[in-house]
Structure 1
């Protein structure tokens, strides 16, 4: 089992694809009435089209602008934003792109069109802070801790060393806790900045909904808390808060492999693991043998699994069920990441799961392997 790798929905790659683009009041820095001016110079971009595109993960319409570099690779853009926004810069016919925060200020772009990832963007205070955050993430020892914990778990599992496997799980939990604290500290040290709003998504991906809620509540007293991304996260946090441990799991119904409608409430009276997965998700398929073993162990003791697939190809879905020997209830609307139940439950990565008690109350989230078995044993001797 790969404990720590998830198939993540593109909407929640917060650090790579984030923007705010609706009105907020003036923040610190240049007067927004001045607008922005981008002055660029790229080697190997002579007479090529330069494409500037907004990159917002929650908007269906993105602002885009184009220009053509002169014979020296020089170009410029002018415009006006209502608030800080995340943009991509591309050069026609060249590989890659450069991501950066754009704000109403004089922005300078210098570099080589053949290595857009290394292009230097200066003049944006928000972009400077994003680079600080990027460096913090890339340089953190937490990345190594996650990897060490995964290797430790895999090696122990190969020889069925349960004690070391549990130690690896505790190592991973500690790495998560440290990351949660670092991200909250970043927000506290850099309030009223778009990058701090961005970090809220990272906290949610680390299952720290309460921490994200607390930090957003503070940001909402500032101008950045009125941004559209902050409002989007408020909706997400409020939705996630309805799915925390101790709450009743919302009812849902979808069609099974035979086309019959199956409701969650049909399993009321049993312990139920709602499992979100997909045939194309490698970590899900790697976890399935553990689910099979869990099901065999507890299925005659008032426990079952109810799987919701984020597939969009029925044949692939059915083949994976058969191949992995998943003999419990399965449903899907075959809409992929737009699966209505996944959206209702705010699922941003798979595998994901919720463990319910016989009353339908959520008693655990996102447990796998032996951690899942250990939790079930707390309720089912």
Structure 2
């Protein structure tokens, strides 16, 4: 009996130790030293908390430092931002938003993270944990892009104000070249750091799973077993498995959505035709301009088995309906405004509009994002082969 009690106490002690060790597993401390900042300023940290909920922590400036502690379930990239005393407290962090010189990214993970900055966070040195050491190598490799971006924005603003069409065209071409160079540098980092969480984070941010799944899969497999079997690695693998590919050659995912009359319509009901699934919205200027091109192509090929299905991303049924009338669009219009409708834009990996998918009579995707003359030329090859 005494032995059993002792055994129970030992087991409880081991469990408590295990629980405490688990609780400490992702504990971090963050110390941000700034040579110049006002006492009324605050440091905000945006990251994912329990169950991946959005979390915002803050710290005040004391003794030339901002200090805070927290816990994360797994290594993750987080935004750190200094807000001036007269600025409104931020409510959340949005991925893709361009932030000021008073914001940088850091990696939150177990350990003591140190940040040394001057008057602003731009150019700050982050160190103290393995992922932040890796992240510094990554950010140093693409520093040229941020430096170039400063001048580019200034030149673009001037060209826009001056309505200088040639300058704007030249700047757009330059932007494509520099972004390509940035991507190539990032890809080299990824290839040379398979055991880094920074590489996994870059992979997740840089590719559209639905549209580039066949490219992503071998890249993910090239990561180390430790990264792939980590919590973020497993989460990303689950997302890969759950996401349908909408690349050319694959069957387009079926869905049901409501038309302007509120009737349920299934994409699969249009099998037997060549179908252009066109994502647009009334508030999207480029979409409205592209409607003119699509209408021209539709009138030319509609008698040969070509159909267009518009899918609106509008949040207002009235705005959607008015735009259909103003642009005189004769084809079927669908949207996700009805109850119980799936997020079709997400299903198809649509992150920007206009965007479209051309499908053959069997429902397989032939091509993606055909605009202007490209759409007409592809349909000429389909309906008027030489």
Q: TM-score, normalised by structure 2?
A: 0.70
Deviation (angstroms), 1:315: 1.6
Structure 1: 5+ residue stretches without partners: 1-31, 148-153, 159-167
Deviation at 1:273, TM superposition (A): 0.6
Name 1:224's counterpart in structure 2.
Answer: 227
- Counterpart position of 2:114: 108
Distance 1:33 1:60 in 2: 17
Structure 1 residues 139 and 110, CA gap change in structure 2 (3 angstroms) = closer
Superposed displacement of residue 215, structure 1: 0.5
CA contact (8 A) 1:129 1:195 kept: no
Residue 37 of structure 1 pairs with residue 42 of structure 2: no
Q: In structure 2, how many angstroms separate the alpha carbons of the residues matched to 1:378 and 1:175?
A: 34
Deviations 1:334-362 (A, max 9, x none): 38xx9622222232332222111111111
Q: Give the Å deviation of 1:304.
A: 0.8
| Distance in 1 (alpha carbons) for counterparts of 2:136 and 2:179 | 26
Distance 2:379 2:317 in 1: 31
Is the alpha carbon distance of 1:91 and 1:140 closer, same or farther for their aligned partners in structure 2, counting shifts above 3 Å?
Answer: closer
Bigger radius of gyration among the two? 2
Distance 1:365 1:232, change over 3 A: farther
The corresponding residue for 2:58 is 66
Match of 1:23 in 2: none
> What is aligned with 2:6?
none
> Which of 186-195 and 124-133 deviates more?
124-133
Alignment of 1:366 with 2:369, yes or no, is yes
CA distance in 2, matches of 1:255, 1:80: 44
How many residue pairs get aligned? The number is 322
Give the secondary-structure state (helix, strand or coil) at the position aligned to 2:38.
coil
Could you say which residue in structure 2 is the equivalent of 1:189? 192
Distance 1:139 1:209, change over 3 A: farther
Is residue 47–residue 77 contact of structure 2 (8 Å, CA) maintained in 1? Answer: yes
- Distance in 1 of aligned mates of 2:207 and 2:40: 43
Is 1:298 equivalent to 2:301 in the alignment? yes
Structure 1 residue 251: Cα displacement: 1.9
Pick one of 310, 314, 317 that aligns with 2:317: 314
**Superposition pairs of residues 161-200 of structure 1, within 5 angstroms:** 183-200=186-203
Q: Which of 63, 69, 75 is residue 78 of structure 1 equivalent to?
A: 69
Cα distance in structure 2, aligned partners of 1:37 and 1:108: 8
84, 89, 98: which is aligned to 2:103?
A: 98
Q: 1:363 to 1:199 in 2, by over 3 A?
A: same
- Secondary structure of 1:88's match? strand
| Structure 2: tracts of 5 or more residues without a match | 1-23, 88-99, 157-164
> Would you say the 8 A contact 1:86–1:99 is kept in 2?
no
Distance 2:182 2:60 in 1: 43
- Relative CO higher for 1 or 2, CA cutoff 8 Å, sep ≥ 6? 1
Distance 1:45 1:215, change over 3 A: same
Post-superposition shift, 1:329?
0.7
* Compared CA separation, residues 136 and 34, structure 1 to 2 (3 A): same
For 2:295 and 2:44, the matched residues in 1 are separated by 49
Following superposition, the deviation at residue 139 of structure 1 comes to: 7.6
Structure 2 partner of 1:203: 207
Which residue does the alignment assign to 2:9? none
RMSD: 3.8
C-alpha displacement at 1:85, in angstroms? Answer: 1.6
Q: Is the 8 A contact 2:278 2:355 kept in 1?
A: yes
Pairwise CA distance, 1:89: 2.4
Query: Does residue 251 of structure 1 match 2:254?
Result: yes
Counterpart Cα distance in 1 of 2:258 and 2:26: 55
Moved more, 268-277 or 223-232: 223-232
Instruction: Provide TM-score, normalisation by structure 1.
Output: 0.71
Structure 1 residue 284 corresponds to structure 2 residue 277:
no
